[in-house]
Copies of this chain bind each other. A is one copy, B any other.
Amino acid sequence: MESFIDQVTSKVRAEGGRMTAQRRLILDALEDLRGHPTAEEIFDHVRNADPDINLSTVYRTLRWLEENGFVSPRWFEDEKRRERFDPVDRPHAITEHFHFRCRVCNRIIEFDEPLIHELRRKYAADTGAEIESVSFTLYGVCALCKKDTPEQP
């Protein structure tokens, strides 16, 4: 299968766009920083390789990737107004999966839950609405962090 960068490059070309060093770095960062990075986190990461890169380039690239289905934006309630970017490697499918967010270590853990797809169908059937996307996020304390802070006696 085509690598992430190759997929994106094909699409960029197909749109009459150009593959720049900055875009390559941002795509690399998205592969390295697997955990739903923010634009700022990506920016900090790519600065190592190119200290002159600009944050607005990072945003512009991410928006382009979003419009072309290579990343999905995500929001978590404990970071009200900050956007995170979820790379969607698999070609032609915005893979639907869900997230658990640990309030202690801030890790974001992905999971799938087939019943959610069931609920989605059920809601559509019951109400006559057409569902286009689903967001399901659990918030709490992950098993590891729970172990580190045992409940007080």
Nearest chain B CB to A151 CB, angstrom units: 10
The stretch of A31-39, A46-54, A124-132 that contacts the partner chain: A124-132
CA distance A134 to B137 in the complex (A): 6
- Could you say which of A100, A134, A138 has the most chain B C-beta atoms within 10 Å of its C-beta? A138
**Could you give, for residues 113-153 of chain A, a 1 whenever the CB lies within 8 Å of some chain B CB and a 0 otherwise?**
10110011001100111111111111111110010000000
**Could you give, for residues 73-112 of chain A, a 1 whenever the CB lies within 8 Å of some chain B CB and a 0 otherwise?**
1010100110100000000000000001011000001010
CA distance A140 to B132 in the complex (A): 5
A73 touches B81 (CB 8 A): no
CA distance A109 to B146 in the complex (A): 35
CA distance A100 to B115 in the complex (A): 17
Selected contact of A129 from candidates B102, B129, B135, CB within 8 Å: B102
B75 touches A77 (CB 8 A): yes
B103 touches A113 (CB 8 A): no
Nearest chain B CB to A39 CB, angstrom units: 12
List chain B residues, Cβ under 8 A from A100.
123, 127, 129
Selected A-B contacts with CB under 8 Å, 5 pairs? A75-B77, A116-B119, A120-B138, A134-B137, A136-B137
B-contacting residues of A (Cβ < 8 Å)? 73, 75, 77, 80-81, 83, 100, 102-103, 109, 111, 113, 115-116, 119-120, 123-124, 127-143, 146
- Ranked nearest first, the 10 interchain pairs of A and B with the lowest CB-CB distance are A128-B143, A131-B140, A132-B140, A81-B81, A133-B139, A130-B141, A135-B137, A130-B140, A129-B142, A136-B136
